[in-house]
Amino acid sequence: MDPLKSVKNFRNKKVGIPKNILGRNKNNKRVEVKVRINLWKILIAFLIFIFFLPFLISVFEVAGGNGKVDTSQAISDIKDGKVKELMVQGPKLIITYNDGSTKVATKEDNESFTDILNVAKIDPTSVKYTVVDQSATKVIGEILGVLLPILLMAGFFLLILRSQNKGAQDIFSFGRSKAKLFAKGKQSVTFADVAGINDAKKELEEIVDFLKNPTKYRKIGARTPKGVLLFGPAGVGKTLLARAVAGEAGVPFFSMAGSEFMEMLVGVGASRVRDLFATAKASAPAIIFIDEIDAIGRQRGRGLMGGHDEREQTLNQILVEMDGFTPNDNVVVVAATNRGDLLDPALLRPGRFDRRVMLDMPDKEGREAILKIHARGKRFVKNINWEGVADRTVGFSGADLENMLNEAAILAAREDKEDIEQEDIEEAATKVKLGPAKKRLQSIEDKKITAYHEAGHAVVTHFLPKTDPVQRISIVARGMSLGHTFIPPTADRTHDTKSRLLEQIAAMLGGRAAESSVFDEMTSGASSDIEQATRIARAMVTDFGMSDLGPVNLGAQYDVDDMGKAQWYEPAQISQSMQEKVDSEVRRIIDEAYKKALAIVKKERKTLDKVSKKLLEVETLDREEFEKIVGKKNGE
């Protein structure tokens, strides 16, 4: 067996081995393998052993005897001639009987065992009698009692100093920055891996170019932007874009999360900010990335802890470092958040975050580009319609698309397929949005109600002129729902018209209309539909001005800026009579939409029955199968 392999095996098993071992390397040359002996571990083990030594001695002393015996019983046994030997050790009398057994007696008063035996009129010569002098033991115990705590404390502080020298995070390094340094080539993600957010990518590409080629910009009089704020919904690629900057930048890139500044000790956050910027300035030109900056950058004076809490001190230090008296050239701060409305105005002014880049959900072209990036390394059949998948995934973020393709790959592997098929992607898209399919035990009546409910949604949607085509109908339970009707938008719309919103409300109430028309009964399955329909109707009245009350905002008063609605708002400032009119308008919109849905269900009853019957047979209908029953949608 190769000695080197033996050494490796011993190390893996944490078995002690000699300090030096002779072996052979891959070229069959004799080498000496040196094994490090951890003296610190040996020292700690020795101190622990010394600490517990008195306890071990006492335990062994007790364990050495077969038990305890009363002094009176011991005297009686001595008189009866049962005892072979006596040994006095301080307050203990160790008794060895003729049969070889040993017991321990403890004196009950301040008298010595010699006096006790004399009082009992026992001849000491009748047994072997020995007195052990414990003065040396007492001296050793006293010395250990004094030196042991000192040794333990010294060892503890030596360990702290050793970890301090190695850069460990201990009590002396609270104020140091926890930023991770990404040098050139350390981050594998580049701008080529980012798609769907081209405008934001151009902004960051320009920052990287500025730091790489500062002379080109300084010749024309341009100064370095102090900061770039990336904000947008979760999953659109803010952190991914920052990772691409780290991969592309030929300068040091320091990454840190907003929550890492905060600590239980007061002043630690501000100290870490100072340390981070000092390190970046020493390495300038450099980039600092702060993820989730809303953890420390929230508006001051609106917290529950007053105006001088730890978070506000940290924010004040960031404001000073970004644009204070100390020059901050060639250090660019990139920050990301999905709650830009919460940030302090002083943080957003020019000179600190000069550029604010809004990242939104990708459009069709962006989704198709993102799909092609995440499809790398996965095996698909040749006839995948990526344009159709992009149409199918309106409203998906980049993270949703990546998760969808991963779920499709998992589904294909579970079914032992060699390639991912179109139906796997379809199932994965549904799973990402609605959750995995559940096989719930339902009665025949429940399945029939669910089938007519979903068919009602689909039929009403199909025969309304301005709604989008039905993509999929299913009575397979997912998440909290017993079925679903999927109607994705055919285009990425920025605005919604009044007529389209009214038809959306009617389509949402199509399930309730079908239940009422077919079973002459109402179920609780329409609760979510009613909630969504009511929310849209109320927004039409209070926010969009799409009612007979006119173009007046009657809702809550939000603090709106270019980053959206702020968290802080005031209740609607309207009278009781006006509130009654709002409620009446909402009720009117809902009633008219329900009447429209009910009329379509009654008119297309035969079609409704066919769709429901087919759903009970196959459980899921796609667009082609649905349109074979109901025909093509008007306008297509």
Catalytic residue among 402, 454, 515, 604: 454
Cα-Cα-Cα-Cα torsion 541, 544, 550, 555, nearest 10 degrees, comes to 60
**Catalytic residue flag (residue 415):** no
Confirm or deny that 520 is annotated as ligand binding.
no
Rounded CA separation 505/404 (Å): 29
* 12: three-class secondary structure by DSSP: helix
Q: 131 in helix, strand or coil?
A: strand
Rounded to an integer, what distance in angstroms lies between the CA atom of residue 205 and that of residue 314?
29
Rounded Cα gap, residues 348 and 19, in angstroms? 61
Give yes or no for a contact between 616 and 454, defined as CB atoms under 8 angstroms apart. Answer: no
Pairwise CA distance, residues 227 & 207, whole Å = 9
For residue 52 the two structure tokens come to 């517990």
Q: Is 323 annotated as a binding residue?
A: no
d(CA 11, CA 38): 13
Distance CA 605, CA 517 (A): 9
| H/E run at residue 472 | strand 472-474
Question: 529: annotated binding-site residue?
Answer: yes
Q: Using an 8 Å Cβ cutoff, are 182 and 255 in contact?
A: yes
138 vs 144: CA distance, rounded Å? 10
Number of other CB atoms surrounding residue 330 within 10 Å: 17
Helices marked H in 166-233: 198-212, 214-218
Tokens of 545: 């001005």
Structure tokens at 104: 């321990």
Tokens 């301080």 belong to which residue? 90
Q: How would you label 10-26 residue by residue, b for 16+ Cβ within 10 Å and e otherwise? A: eeeeeeeeeeebeeeee
Q: Are 459 and 611 in contact (CB under 8 A)?
A: yes
Please, which residues have CB within 8 angstroms of residue 455's CB and are 6 or more apart in sequence? 473, 514, 608, 611, 612, 615
Query: Measured between alpha carbons, how far apart are the two ends of the chain, in Å?
Result: 77
Q: Which of 393, 428, 434 has its CA nearest to residue 414?
A: 428
- The DSSP secondary-structure symbol of 308 reads S
What element of type H or E holds 285?
none
Residues 160 and 157: their CA atoms lie apart, in Å, by 5
Nearest to 394 by CA among 468, 456, 337: 468
Q: Which is nearest to 262 in space by CA: 303, 225, 228?
A: 303
Cα distance between residue 296 and residue 262, in whole Å: 8
- Phi and psi, residue 447, nearest 5°: -65, -35
Q: How far is CA 267 from CA 27, 255, 271, 276, 300, in A?
A: 57, 21, 6, 14, 17
- Bridge partner list, 24: 30
Integer CA distances (angstroms), 147 to 42, 43, 57, 141, 482, in order: 18, 15, 19, 10, 73
d(CA 630, CA 463): 9
3-state secondary structure (DSSP) of residue 257: strand
Active-site positions? 454
Annotated binding site for Zn(2+): 453, 457, 529
Annotated binding site: 453, 457, 529
